[in-house]
Structure 1
Amino acid sequence: MLFIVLVLVLAALGLLITALITASSLWAWISIGLSVVAGLLLVVDWVRRRVGRRRQAAVAEPEDEPSAEAATSAGDDDVADEPVTAETADEPAEQATAVAEAGEPADQTALIPAAGELVGTAEEGEPGEERTDEADAKIVDELDVEVVVVDEHPRYHLTDCGWLADRDVIPISVSEARDLGFTPCARCTPDAHLAQAHRAKKKSKA
């Protein structure tokens, strides 16, 4: 369209020059007519482009709205379908542990496990608690035999316990360890060994 208008304008200019040279009014009127046609073509082209833009805008608006709704629905579905992981499940437990730690007395000995606190887990290789007979427990409560404990772990052990490996140990009497809340190691069974050694020593004296 613009190319046709350009041709008409050039033709009108050429006829206008011819009319001036020949002093003929016919060429002048023809030049004017071509100029009017070129102007009409420009107006028609402008109207056609404007109508086309409006149609495109009207078609694009309904297509954009479902896209926004679909994005919102997809976001809601992602939140609803988000799987509960082990880390998410452990968050309340971690918060409870932080509250319990904040509420511990400031003068509490670092070696004493907090009441109800599980220090060490099976994943960390923490040994279980020895099941001590009542008779052995009574004997061990009165002994001053040395055992060892590990900082921030709930068990007391014999000095040759295999679980200790190269861990830093703290020597302490078995009666004191029990008073502080430590429990016997199921791996080296200190209560059974100490009670048996005490009975054997007592029997040899008799």
Structure 2
Amino acid sequence: MLSIVLLLVLAALGLLVPALTSAQTYWAWLSVGASGAAAVVLVLDWWLRRRSSPGAAGTAVVDHPVVTGDRPLPADETGSDTPGVRHDQVDLEPGEEDTDAADALVVSELTDEVRVVDERPRYHLPECVWLGSRSTFGLPVDEARRLGFTPCAVCRPDAGLSARKRAADRSEPA
């Protein structure tokens, strides 16, 4: 469709030359008509693309696939080099950890470092198998939560961090 628009614009320019060099106005009107036809084709192309886009029917467009489930698969069922992640799911986003309210409360007060991947919605423990060799950067867990990151279902950082905190609290002398 865009090639049709290009041809119509070139025709409009070609018709504009005789309109400017001669005293006949119908060349100018033909140039305006070709420009109008190009505009109509552009609008039609936009409308057709909008109707055929995935989000047009009121469905949300997700820019990253999401793996459902709370726990990783056992290593013998995966078929990939990354333990706990199936071969066909290596690039998929892990699901969100189902964190209970008590763990969420403990984690919201912690400043332990978690790892995040740029443009991904989850935060992970540094030893998370899903991270593999992906480029990550560290954030305090309370800041990661404030920024809208959610816990990974593979490494379960909220459960792990809250368990560490509770164990540390129990080992401290009273």
* Band the TM-score falls in, shorter-chain normalisation: 0.5 to 0.7
Q: Secondary structure at the match of 2:159?
A: helix
**2:95 pairs with 1:128:** yes
Higher relative contact order (CA 8 A, sep 6+): 2
Computing the radius of gyration over CA atoms, which structure comes out larger, 1 or 2? Answer: 1
- 1:157–1:188 Cα contact (<8 Å) kept: yes
Alignment-derived partner of residue 183 in structure 1? 150
Q: Does structure 1 retain, via aligned residues, the 8 Å contact 2:107–2:162?
A: yes
Percent identity, aligned pairs only?
Answer: 49
Letter in 1 for 2:147: L
| Structure with greater proportional helix content | 1
Structure-2-length-normalised TM-score: 0.52
Q: Partners of 2:52 and 2:111 in 1: how far apart? A: 41
For residues 1-206 of structure 1, the aligned pairs below 5 Å read 91-93=53-55, 118-122=62-66, 124-206=91-173
- Write out the 4+ residue segments of structure 1 that deviate beyond 2 Å after TM superposition: 94-97, 116-119
| Contact 2:110–2:142, Cα closer than 8 Å, also in 1 | yes
Normalising to structure 1: TM-score of the pair? 0.44
> Structure 1 residues 150, 92: closer, same or farther in 2, change over 3 A?
same
Where do 5+ consecutive residues of structure 2 fail to align? Answer: 1-49, 67-88
2:96/2:122 contact within 8 Å kept = yes
1:40-78: CA deviation from partner (whole Å, max 9, x where unpaired):
xxxxxxxxxxxxxxxxxxxxxxxxxxxxxxxxxxxxxxx
Structure 1 residues 77-106: Cα deviation after superposition (integer angstroms, max 9, x where no partner) = xxxxxxxxxxx9861428999xxxxxxxxx
Paired letter, 1:153? R
Q: Give the CA deviation at 1:125.
A: 1.6
In structure 2, C-alpha distance between the alignment counterparts of 1:192 and 1:144, rounded to whole Å: 15
Q: Deviations for 1:18-59, whole angstroms, at most 9, x for unmatched residues?
A: xxxxxxxxxxxxxxxxxxxxxxxxxxxxxxxxxxxxxxxxxx
Contact 1:156 1:182 in 2 (8 A): yes
Deviation at 1:117, TM superposition (A): 7.3
**How large is the RMSD of aligned CA atoms in angstroms?**
3.0
SS of 2:170 mapped into structure 1: helix
Shift of 1:168: 0.5
Cα contact 2:54–2:61 (8 A) shared by 1: no
CA distance in structure 2 between the aligned counterparts of 1:166 and 1:96, rounded to whole angstroms: 36
Hey, what's the Cα distance between the residues in 2 that align with 1:152 and 1:94? 24
Against the structure 1 CA distance between its residues 90 and 130, is the aligned structure 2 distance closer, same or farther, given a 3 Å change threshold?
farther
Question: Is the contact made by 1:119 and 1:152 (CA closer than 8 Å) also made in structure 2?
Answer: no
Equivalent residues of 2:55, 2:61 under 8 A apart: no
Using a 3 Å threshold, how does the CA distance of structure 1 residues 153 and 135 change in structure 2: closer, same or farther?
same
1:121 partner amino acid: P
Q: 2:123 touches 2:149 (CA, 8 Å); kept in 1?
A: yes
Partner of 2:123, secondary structure, is strand
